[in-house]
Amino acid sequence: MALDPNAPRSRRALLAAAAGGAAAVAASAAAPLSVSAAPATMLTETANASTAQTSLADTGDRTTAFATSNVGVAPALVVSNGAGVATTAGETDPTDPGGITAAAGVFAYSVDASGAQPYWATTYTGIYGWAPTFADSFGVGVWGDSVDVGTYGSGSVGVRGDGFYGMVAASQIGGGAGLLAWGGNGLGNDVALDVRGKVKFSRAGRSTIGAGKSSIKINMVGASFSSLVFAVLRHNRSGRYVRAVVPTAGSFTIYLNLAVTSSTYVVWFVVN
């Protein structure tokens, strides 16, 4: 905690200056309660008890407010938050006023916290991160970055997303995948992708084969000779059906067995 050089010196501080650390501790223990109410000095290598907030305000430009490091298997920083009685409107769940509540172990925000969730809403959350929108890009509440795995989630649900878009996955490396999913070890009967509801694919669509024609060519960026393309008639045309679909570089052609006598929809789906 930063010290104010203009603040009055407490009896504890005077004793420490006169008699050293050990004498100061002894004198403080014997002091009346009215005197020991002054702010206490944080001690190292001990569990400091407090009933009020201890904070560090760093007003320097491009300086680190707090840093910690460690070696071995113990973490450099452990933060926990136990349940307590809510006492103010900002700490109380409106659906359970005055109830027992807690907050996230770590409540972190960037730039501005005015749009963040209230403390009580983060109950049973290890780490809560918030950031407002950013005009030139987008705000990020939590960013995990690594050469290997940026963010790892485990449990009955490893990762869950809620929002207008529950999750957005994008690949920025040529030949990679925006989303890689496998069930089990990828070799058995475990489901790799389970979708509940509609599915929308950008490489699927509907085209019209004109009257008197028996084929249609559809241009598509990324299509190749190895693409798997499926197509079926959207109208019931007696004696007509899709005979073949032939992909090539940048396009594929759908062939019918016979020309149609009127305009006919054909729907198609490109797998790869």
Percentage of the chain lying above the pLDDT 90 cut: 50
Q: How confident is the model at residue 272 (pLDDT cuts 50, 70, 90)?
A: confident
On the question of pLDDT at 20 being above 70, the answer is no
Number of structural domains found in the chain: 3
Residue range 36-51: average pLDDT?
80
DSSP secondary structure, 29-53, as one string: HHS-HHHHTSPPPP-SSS----SS-
**Residue 242: inside a domain:** yes
The edge-to-edge listing of strands for the beta sheet with 229-233 is: 204-209, 264-270, 229-233
**Residue 108: inside a domain:** yes
Q: How confident is the model at residue 46 (pLDDT cuts 50, 70, 90)?
A: very high
Mean pLDDT of the chain: 83
3-class SS at 155?
Answer: coil
Listed ranges 100-104, 188-192, 235-239; the one with the highest mean pLDDT: 235-239
C-beta neighbour count of 252 within 10 angstroms: 22
Say yes or no: 208 and 264 in one domain.
yes
| The pLDDT of residue 96 | 75
Cβ atoms 127, 104 nearer than 8 A = yes
Q: Pull the structure tokens for residue 10.
A: 């407490």
Q: Which residue has the tokens 């939590």?
A: 142
Nearest of 252, 202, 190, 204 to residue 224 by alpha carbon: 252
Cβ atoms 205, 267 nearer than 8 A = yes
Q: How confident is the model at residue 265 (pLDDT cuts 50, 70, 90)?
A: very high
Amino acid at 94: P
Domain stops at, among 130, 162, 190:
130
Annotate 181-228 with three-state secondary structure.
Answer: CCCCCCCCCCCCCCCCCCCCCCCEEEEEECCCCCEEEEECCCCCCCCC
What is the span of the domain harbouring residue 110? 84-130
**Residue 165: inside a domain:** no
Give 76 or 28, the one with higher predicted confidence. Answer: 76
The C-alpha atoms of residue 209 and residue 265 are separated, in whole angstroms, by 6
pLDDT, one tens digit per residue, over 163-199 is: 999 999 888 877 788 888 888 888 888 999 999 999 9
Distance of CA 53 to CAs 69, 128, 209, 249, Å? 23, 20, 73, 66
On the question of pLDDT at 233 being above 80, the answer is yes
**Residue 259: inside a domain:** yes
CA torsion, points 31, 37, 38, 44, in degrees to nearest 10?
80
